[in-house]
Chain A
């Protein structure tokens, strides 16, 4: 199984709503990532979890709150978002080992988020 799954596929929410994005992988990977991608731009890293611990937060606003319940699951909790937060949110996973090409990242299909 080389698949990263994300739910939901699409999400529309108001600025006062609370919602969550979910990501799952069963490849035994120990690193998981959240990226944000705006139209016609490359993905921008938001968070990295390594061995279920938050290792990188790229100065993301607190209205985005990541959670890693176990090594296979990654959530992104959303609260009080702004319209400019509308984007494709991508989850990825990797083995988590340093160098040597062993840290290939495999991406999920993404969640298209629209904030009204």
Chain B
């Protein structure tokens, strides 16, 4: 069974601070997706990383896929209240294209 552990589980920071969320597994994934979900809404896809060592930037968000494609990180620079939400990583296993393994989730709260 593939597992994805996210850390931290919960993060409360002030506007302007930087933060990093980690997504770790002992399994190799062919790709990894990051989502943000707000209460009562569906997850919104932020980015997909495919190549080991790949780095993608989305405005103040920087995503990195580990060299061995077993882990990923999300770094947010100068967090804003609009960044508040549940961040989920999800890995696509090799040979299991229709199944995503979701991470345990990181709940981020950004206050003024």
Question: Which of chain B's residues have a CB closer than 8 A to the CB of A56?
Answer: 98-99
Classify chain B: how many residues form its interface, as a range: 20 to 34
Contact (Cβ within 8 A) B48 A99 = no
CB within 8 Å of B: which residues of A? 4, 6, 31, 33, 40-43, 45, 48, 50, 55-56, 88, 90, 92, 94, 96-101, 103-110, 112
Partner of A100, one of B41, B42, B43, B50: B50
Contact (Cβ within 8 A) B102 A103 = no
Contact (Cβ within 8 A) A40 B107 = yes
Contact (Cβ within 8 A) B42 A42 = no
Contact (Cβ within 8 A) A48 B99 = yes
**Extra inter-chain contacts (14) besides given A55-B98, A99-B30, A110-B40, CB under 8 Å:** A33-B98, A40-B107, A48-B99, A98-B97, A99-B97, A100-B30, A100-B31, A101-B31, A103-B92, A104-B33, A105-B45, A107-B35, A107-B42, A109-B41
Question: Which of chain B's residues have a CB closer than 8 A to the CB of A6?
Answer: 42
Question: Which of chain B's residues have a CB closer than 8 A to the CB of A112?
Answer: 40
- Report the 6 A-B pairs with minimum CB-CB distance, sorted nearest first: A98-B97, A107-B42, A42-B102, A101-B50, A101-B31, A99-B30
A-B pairs with beta carbons under 8 Å apart, 30 shown: A6-B42, A33-B98, A40-B105, A40-B107, A42-B88, A42-B103, A42-B104, A45-B99, A48-B98, A48-B99, A50-B98, A88-B40, A92-B42, A96-B98, A98-B95, A98-B97, A99-B30, A99-B31, A99-B97, A100-B30, A101-B50, A103-B31, A104-B45, A105-B33, A105-B90, A107-B42, A107-B43, A109-B41, A109-B42, A110-B40
